[in-house]
Amino acid sequence: MSSGRARGTVVAAAGLAAATAVLEPLRGHLSLASVTLLYLVPVAGAAAAGGLWPALGAAVAADLLLNFFFVPPLHTLSVASFDNAIALVVYVLVAAAVAVAMDVVERQRAAVGRARELAEVDRLRTALLDAVSHDLRTPLAGIKAAASSLRSPDLRFSDNDRAELLATVEHATDRMTALVENLLSLSRLRAGVLSAHPEPTALDAVAAEVVLHLPDPEHARDRVALEVPDDLPLARADPGLLTTVLANLVANSLAAAPRVHITGTAHGSRVRLAVADNGPGVPAAQRAALFEPFQRLGDRGGAGLGLGLAIVRGFTEAMGGTVTPSETPGGGLTMTVELPGA
């Protein structure tokens, strides 16, 4: 027996037993019509829980219970009145019709659910192909152009020109690496195989490492203001996952505003890292969509696959934390990561 049918059978048995226990003492106060209507409830529940066959079984069992407990002569399966016999037959037919109708509704609901899932998969696949075709092709074209120029025997470059071309290759390679890492991270999240290894983690060290490894770190130091005290309580977090979370948030903010503020605070037994910018911000009504994959609403730089904030949420929740968007005072977007303290 399938799990669905087993569930429907349990619902039918429990529902019929409960209905009989409640209605039998009230037999003298209820008409047979009222009792038969109430006995349709377990049939409908069995159909919703297990489909057609448990519901049909419930309909037959309910008819027998009606006959035994509520149709004279009581406590037998005999029927003294022709009208009561008709009522029992009609009940079985009506209960069977209810079972069939409920089964059709549940099947249609399941079909709609599968159609939505397929549509979502198709949307994600289309978005992925579109994004990858653009966002991987662009750095590849830059690498190809720079490498071809450097290898050309007919071109002579100064040291500065050569350094600039090599920097182009390095920057484009970093972009491709980040894109591939984000895709791999999303696939781990979707497959449910992401594992976090929380340990006492110093938030000031994580923030400093993120800034140090930003593209063009010397320039980034001028754009990123760090206010994470070194005496801040340790967070219980996975250092690798937290570094990825903060790096995505900082890169996202740097794409939207010239300056970014990273602040660390303690709130009771939890600690917070907030990344704030004074860019265009995101309307409150649209913030719920920030964390959906392939949404560029939050990844506002125009580059990337729109996976950054989806990964931020998945990694943060894997560490037992939360991430919350809010408006920066004066305008802009603030993303606050809250983690349990160590």
Output the 3-class SS for the chain.
CCHHHHHHHHHHHHHHHHHHHHHHHHHHHCCHHHHHHHCHHHHHHHHHHHCHHHHHHHHHHHHHHHHHHHCCCCCCCCCCCHHHHHHHHHHHHHHHHHHHHHHHHHHHHHHHHHHHHHHHHHHHHHHHHHHHHHHCHHHHHHHHHHHHHHHCCCCCCCHHHHHHHHHHHHHHHHHHHHHHHHHHHHHHHHHCCCCCCCEEECHHHHHHHHHHCCCCHHHHHHHEEEECCCCCCCEEECHHHHHHHHHHHHHHHHCCCCCEEEEEEEECCEEEEEEEECCCCCCHHHHHHCCCCCCCCCCCCCCCCCCHHHHHHHHHHHCCCEEEEEECCCCCEEEEEEEEEC
CA distances from 37 to 49, 82, 88 (A): 19, 19, 12
CA-closest candidate to residue 317, choices 250, 253, 238, 263? 238
**Within a 10 A sphere around the Cβ of 47, how many other Cβ atoms?**
29
Tokens encoding 89: 């037959």
In this predicted structure, what is the pLDDT of residue 20? 92
Lowest mean pLDDT among 95-109, 116-130, 132-146: 116-130
Q: Which residue has the higher pLDDT, 93 or 135?
A: 93
In this predicted model, what pLDDT tens digit does every residue of 41-71 receive, in sequence order?
888 888 888 888 888 888 899 999 999 999 9
In this predicted structure, what is the pLDDT of residue 333? 92
Q: Which residue has the higher pLDDT, 182 or 244?
A: 244
In this predicted structure, what is the pLDDT of residue 14? 92
Lowest mean pLDDT among 112-116, 234-238, 291-295: 291-295
Provide, rounded to the nearest whole percent, the portion of the chain with pLDDT above 90. 25
In this predicted structure, what is the pLDDT of residue 302? 44
Q: Which residue has the higher pLDDT, 335 or 87?
A: 335
Q: Which long-range contacts (CB under 8 A, 24 or more apart) does 156-159 make?
A: none
Backbone angles phi, psi at 340, to 5 degrees: -65, 145
Tokens encoding 198: 């929380």
Tokens encoding 92: 């079985």
Overall average pLDDT of the 132-157 stretch: 82
Residue 337 pLDDT > 90, yes or no? Answer: yes
Residue 185 pLDDT > 90, yes or no? Answer: no
In this predicted model, what pLDDT tens digit does every residue of 298-331 receive, in sequence order?
444 444 456 678 888 888 988 999 999 999 998 9
In this predicted structure, what is the pLDDT of residue 301? 45
Provide, rounded to the nearest whole percent, the portion of the chain with pLDDT above 70. 88
In this predicted model, what pLDDT tens digit does every residue of 14-32 receive, in sequence order?
999 999 999 999 988 888 8
What mean pLDDT, rounded, does the chain reach?
83
Instruction: Report cis status (omega within 30 of 0) of the bond before 280.
Output: no
Residue 161 pLDDT > 70, yes or no? Answer: yes
In this predicted structure, what is the pLDDT of residue 141? 86
Q: Which residue has the higher pLDDT, 308 or 125?
A: 308
pLDDT band at 211 (very low <50, low <70, confident <90, very high): confident
**Within a 10 A sphere around the Cβ of 290, how many other Cβ atoms?**
21
In this predicted structure, what is the pLDDT of residue 127? 59
